[in-house]
Amino acid sequence: MNKPVAIYDTTLRDGAQAEGISFSVADKIRIAERLDAFGIHYVEGGWPGSNPKDLDFFDAAARRKLKQAKIAAFGSTRRAQAKCQDDPQVAMLLKANTTVVTLVGKTWPLHVKEVIRTTLPENLAMIADSVRYFKENGKEVMYDAEHFFDGYRDDARYAMATLRAAADTGADAVVLCDTNGGALPSDVARITAEVRKALRCAVGIHTHNDCGLAVANALAAVENGATQVQGTINGFGERTGNCNLTTVIPCLALKMGRDGIPRENLRRLRELSLFVDDLANLRHDVRQPFTGATAFTHKGGIHANAVEKLARSYEHIEPELVGNRRRVLVSELSGRSNIFMKAHELGIHLDKDSTEAKDVLRQLKQHEHAGYEYEAADASFHILVQKLLKRHKSFFNLLAYRVIMDRHGNGEHKIVEASVKLQVKGHVVHTVSEGDGPVNALDRALRAALEKFYPSIAQVKLLDYKVRIVDSQLATAAKTRVIIESTDGTAIWGTVGVNDNIIEASWEALVDSVEYKLFKDEQKK
C-alpha cells in the first residue's frame, strides 16, 4: 500500500506563529518559490481573514507561475448563525483567489460549547455549509479538524460526525489535527486507522511537537492510512513548533519508502532548511535530524574510526541523500557537491578535480569560517566564485567613505551624513548624501556616484535587510552578518557582508548587490 504521501507546508501560516518569526511579503514569495522547486505539493500562504496583510501575499503569488505546488489559503468555518455569503472572514478567504482552501473547524464538544459558544448541531452545520460553499466556488477543500484527538477521546461519535459533515459535503481531505501536541503515537495510530475505515475521502495529519512526538505522530498516521502530512520547514511554529517537514520528508522517503517528494530533490533538503532559517533570521539548529551541521558528525574515537572502515555501521543513511555530509575531523567546509551544484545552478562551470576547483573550495571554507553564509545570498556567492576564478570584473573602486552621526538632546538636532569617493571608468567621483540612518546615507551616496555612469542602477531597490551576530557570546563586539535582498523589478537576489562593524558589513552587501546587477546587465548585451 505504497500510496504517495502529499506534503502540505504551513511554514508561512502556522510557522509564522512562532516567537520571533515575522516574514515580509518578499520573504514569503521567495519561500513559496523554493518550496515549489523542492516539490512540496501544497503551500499554505496565510489566513486572509485574520491578517489583512496576507492578502498582499496571495496577490503577489497569483502573479507568479509555480511549477507544481498549489497555493492554499487558510480560514475557519463560517460563524455560528450566519450565512457563508454574509461572513466577512469567508469573503476574504474567497478573495485570496487560491486553488486550495483549508478550513479549520471544531471537533471537541468542550470547544464548541465554551470557546465558540454554540450548539453541537450548529457546529456540524457550520462545517457542512462552509465546505459546500467553497466546493461550489470550485476550490479544492481541506478540512482541518482542530483538537481532533482530544475531541475523539472525549466523544468519539461527535468527533466522527464532524469529519462526516466535511466528507459528505465534498471535502477533498479531512486532516486530523493534534492542536495542542499532547497525543501519543500509539493513540494516533489507532484513531487514524479507525477514521480511515469510516471515511472514503483522503485523510491528513497535522501535529505539534509539545511532547517531542510531532514527527512520530505523523509517521504513525501515515502507517495507518493518512496520505497527507502537514508541517513546517525546520519545525517552526507556536510553542515547541509543528511537525518538522525536514525530518518527516526523509523519514517517509528513505525509511518507509513512500513516494511523495522526488528522491533527487532530497539532496537539496539541507539547503532548503538553511534558506528558511536565514529568511526567518533564526539561528540554524546544528542538531536538527538529517539537515543539522552535526547530524553526521563523528566525535567518539571508536565511531570515527569505524565510520572510516564501514560507513554503514554508524550512519543510518548516506548524508549526501539529504544534501548533508559526514564530518569526522573538525572542519567547517560545506559539502563539496553542494558547492558544485550551486555553481552549476548559477551557470558557472567548475571541473571537480581541477586545481581551480580545489582553490575555490579552500577559499570558500575560509569565508564560511569567517561567518559568511551563502544559502540566502546567491549573488554574493556568484561574485565570490567569479573573483576566485579571476573572472570578476570590478565596475568601480572605493577610495574612501565617511559617516557622521550627531544627536543633541531629544533628537531635535540630528545629522546623518555619508560621503563616498569612488573611481569609476577612470573618473574620480565624490558624493555626499544624508539619510535616515548610516546605511541609507551610504546607499544614497553610492547610487548618486554611480548613476550617471550606469543608469540601470536606478531600477535596483532593496527589499529587505537582515542582521545577525555570528558569535553572539561577544555581543556588540562580535561579528555582524548582514543579508540584503534586492530587486530590479523582475529578479530578486540576495547578498551578504560580514564584519566587526555593521556599517562595513552593510557596505559589503550593498556593493555586491550593485555589482551583481551590473554584471547581469552586461551578460544580457
Residue type, 277: D
Smaller CB separation from its own copies, 54 or 271: 54
- Would you say 101 or 376 has its CB closer to its own copies? 376
Q: Are the C-beta atoms of 276 and 31 separated by less than 8 Å?
A: yes
CB 103 within 8 A of CB 77: yes
Give the burial string for 437-462 (b: 16+ CB within 10 Å, else e): ebbbbbbbbbbebbeeebeebeebeb
Give least dist CB 431 to its own copies, A: 15
- Least distance CB 297 / its own copies (angstroms): 6
Nearest to 37 by CA among 58, 60, 5, 65: 65
Q: Which distant-in-sequence residues (6+ apart) come within 8 Å of 519 by Cβ?
A: 382, 383, 386, 393
Report in angstroms how near the CB of residue 315 gets to its own copies at its nearest.
6
Report the Cα 411 to chain-centroid distance in Å. 39
For its own copies, the closer CB: 98 or 224: 224
**Alpha carbons 77 and 132: distance in angstroms, whole number:** 11
Contact call for residues 235 and 214 (beta carbons, < 8 A)? yes
3-state secondary structure of 414: strand
Dihedral sign (CA 307, 311, 315, 320): positive
Cβ distance to its own copies smaller for residue 172 or 464: 464
50 versus 81: smaller Cβ distance to its own copies: 50
Q: What are residue 324's phi and psi, to 5 degrees?
A: -105, -175
Q: What is the residue type of 365?
A: K
Neighbours of 368 (CB within 10 A): 14
Which alpha helices (H) appear in 281-319, and where do they start and end? 301-309, 311-314
Q: How far is the CB of 388 from its own copies (least distance, A)?
A: 18
Write down the least CB distance from residue 229 to its own copies, Å: 13
Contact 179, 141 (CB under 8 A): no
Nearer to its own copies, 105 or 164 (CB): 105
- Three-class DSSP labels, 252-270: HHHHCCCCCCCHHHHHHHH
Q: Is 176 exposed, middle or buried (0-12, 13-18, 19+ CB in 10 A)?
A: buried
* Beta carbons of 148 and 187 less than 8 angstroms apart: no
Nearest distance in Å: CB 503, its own copies: 6
CB of residue 236 to its own copies, shortest distance in Å: 9
Of 171 and 295, CB closest to its own copies: 295
Count how many residues are written for the chain: 525
Nearest approach in angstroms of CB 68 to its own copies is 26
Q: Quote the least distance from Cβ 251 to its own copies, whole Å.
A: 5
**Least distance between its own copies and beta carbon 261 (Å):** 16
Nearer of residues 306 and 389 to its own copies, judged by Cβ = 306
Residue closer to its own copies (CB basis): 215 or 357: 215
Beta carbon nearer to its own copies, 264 or 406: 406
